[in-house]
Amino acid sequence: MNRHSLIELEAVLAIVRCGSFRAAALDLGMSTTAISNAVGKLERELAVRLFNRTTRSVSLTHAGRIFVAQIKPAFEGIQKAMDTARSQQETPSGTLRINAFATAAREIMVPLILTYMQRYPQVHIDLVTEGRLVDVVAAGFDLGVRRADLVPSDAIAIPLGQMQRIAIVASPGFFKDKAIPQVPQELLAYPCVRGRLPNGALLQWRFEKDGQELRLDVDGPITLDEASLARIAVTNGVGIGYLMEPDVREDIAAGRLVRILEDWTPTLPPLCLYYSNRRNSSAAFKTFIALTRDFAAGRLR
């Protein structure tokens, strides 16, 4: 089956709407010859006459009336879709899909995402959190949030804040009858909450001090693959935890957790919002990027 260009279908509908080839040509910004050729080409390919033409009038044939009745709703649907797409270039609307580590999502949820939603209520945010690294473009996401060292080299990245840190923590009661470890190696004698990476490997605990780096395979009664679960286990005295500082900052401040080995806990690269180089981006995308840059620069109030 031959595929017909939209201009041929648009020409037929314009002639019906305007009542003549000449008026339709003016309406579409075409010459009368061009619109006549478009209709003639379509009629030849369909092997049916759509219009009865005289020097003074034009009218649809029986086949033409059936054809117009069938294509008109579909064409109006296409036009509506095109108008909707154009409107998204002008007014922030539609959906923005964001992929992030859970910890990263918690960090930006209130100051960035909820602020954006309040300013642009017509935009729907679809935030997906997962530990594994994904190709945001291939997976259909508009934006990603990861540590700077995990951002693809060909992506555009906006740093979101200061360097991240690890926190080694335990519940206050955990050390009631135990000495507090002074160096990382002493953790090997304590129960720890182990972590599992998205690829299935066990998380090694990394430490650093005065240029010396150390990695430990700790042991403990439970292995978890989600930071919020690890936090629950640690606050309930199951063992010592190795968590991102933002995930336990409030617990430390409230006294629910105590921090140890702080002089050994390494810093990590800052979080970044990143995206591929995009042309003709929607208004929703552009305004989110603009707000992110304000957030990164400390201009949000």
Residue 233 predicted with pLDDT over 60: yes
Give pTM, 2 decimals: 0.65
**Domain spanning 6-87: CATH 3.40.190.10:** no
| pLDDT, tens only, 288-300 | 999 999 999 888 7
Domain with CATH 3.40.190.290 in the chain: 164-268
Q: What confidence tier does 2 reach under pLDDT thresholds 50, 70, 90?
A: very low
Delimiting residues of CATH 1.10.10.10 domain(s) in the chain? 6-87
Does position 185 have pLDDT exceeding 90, yes or no?
yes
Comparing 9-18, 74-83, 124-133, 203-212, the range with the smallest average pLDDT is 74-83
Task: Read off the tokens for 6.
Answer: 């939209």
- Asked if the 94-162+269-296 domain carries CATH number 3.40.190.10, the reply is yes
> Which CATH code is given to the segment(s) 164-268?
3.40.190.290
